[in-house]
Amino acid sequence: MRLDEFIEGYERDEAADLRQLAEEKSYAITEYIEDVESGFAESVQGDSLFGSTAPSIFVGRSGYPEVATGLLSPVAGEFDPNEYTTSGDWYAQGVDIDGVFQRRTGLLNSTRYADVDVADTWDGFVGVQREVAIADRPVDVEIGLSGRPNLDVSESLDATGMRAPNGPRVKARNAELTENPHVPRAVEKTLSDDDWRAEGAIAYLYRRGFDVYDIKRILSAGALGRAKERRLVPTRWSITAVDDTVGQYLRGRIRNAPSVDEVEVWRNDYVGNTYWVILAPGDWEFELVEMKAPGSIWNPDESGPYWVGSDYESYTGRTAYVDETSGAYYASRLGVLEELERRGRQAKVLVLRTVSDAYWAPVGVWQIRESVRNAFEGEAGVAETFHDAVGALEPQLPISPARLRRKSEMVAGVQTNLGQFGG
């Protein structure tokens, strides 16, 4: 499909879309909070919480290496326990920001503090937490509570939008399994090998069909790596670590692959975010440019300009953590690398992410990962050159071409080469 036809197919009344989102975004939340309160009351017997626990845990990072560790238990709503766990299914189901809020705030976080060095600790609260994390389905547990939680989950959305939605939290005295968890053989294999480095174990599980969501949970529970080095990994760190490790594995898989044959342009839209992905012939390069609207997440000043950030890697990859785009970089890169590895090709890749003010609450980098993963559906727009593709997209972007060139290493490089050619 010609690129101009591809772009024309996406033109629509953006203002009308935003008005509709603003009307719909949060009016169901107040009623849902009541469900959280009644669900908690039904699940608690005395000072203990009974019920099926989603195969999910939480490990905080504040105070590291002494951190808050939590078991996440669904206490509200009518979802299957598996649906409370972040996964690509949320995208497939079209879960919106309200839906994410309901799932996140419906999870009670029963916490205790623990040292991250767990090695072969499989007893006590941390042991139960680790058993839940390595299981491939929800596990029934009994959790002894110390006091009652603050059930005012409305605090999970503040005026700035800078906090991710989360459920009520309560201190736990202890926890016991009330059934034997089912642990996949591949996970048992990684646990039984005391000398297997975490990076190799992550790649092995990915090859065996585990998605990054499952691997992240297992890594966070300190169940990967050499036995003496196994430690709890804060949830936020584990997400980026797995995206990066799997991304490096996939980049190695395409390092000597042939290039894509033509310049392709792909687009996807989800929860107030627009993604343009350009694949161009050449050796592997990758860049993410993020443009965040005034009044959106991480750019709350409604009267200010668009915030623009970018990070880049060449064929040899990166040796340091990105400066400006954080976990979004590794999540979007993973989505692209999975597509290229599936084709057995490599490419120069530019991802342009626009965040509108319809993105009114942070839902996590999973939506970035899934949006890019699913951008390659249907038919791509085709351009003659990378320069042509960028030029065609510039009117679709909320910043000027000059600002894009100043921020994007790949776009600036194209302009420099053209200038040298013309001189």
Which band of pLDDT confidence, cut at 50, 70 and 90, is reported for residue 296? Answer: confident
Instruction: Express as a percent the part of the chain with pLDDT over 70.
Output: 81
Task: Encode pLDDT of 75-129 as tens digits.
Answer: 866 668 888 889 999 999 999 998 998 888 888 899 999 999 998 899 999 999 9
pTM (two decimals)? 0.89
Task: Encode pLDDT of 256-280 as tens digits.
Answer: 999 999 999 999 999 999 999 999 9
For the chain, give the secondary structure using H, E and C: CEHHHHHHCCCCCHHHHHHHHHHHCCCCHHHHHHHHHHHHHHHEECCEEEEEECCCEEECCCCCCEEEEEEEEECCCCCCHHHHCCCCHHHHCCCCHHHHHHHHHCEEEEEEEEECECCCCCCHHHHHHHHHHHCCCCEEEEEEEECCCCCCHHHHCCCCCCCCCCCCEEEEEEEEECCCCCCCHHHHHHHHCCCCCHHHHHHHHHHCCCCHHHHHHHHHCCCCCCHHHCECCCHHHHHHHHHHHHHHHHHHHHCCCCECCCEEEEEEEECCEEEEEEEECCCCEEEEEEEECCCECCECCCCCCCEEEEEEEECCECCCCCCCCHHHHHHHHHHHHHHHHHHCCECEEEEEEEECCCCCCCCCCHHHHHHHHHHHCCCCEEECCHHHHHHHHHHHCCCCHHHHHHHCHHHHHHHHHHHHHHC
Candidate from 93-97, 290-294, 361-365, 406-410 with smallest mean pLDDT? 361-365
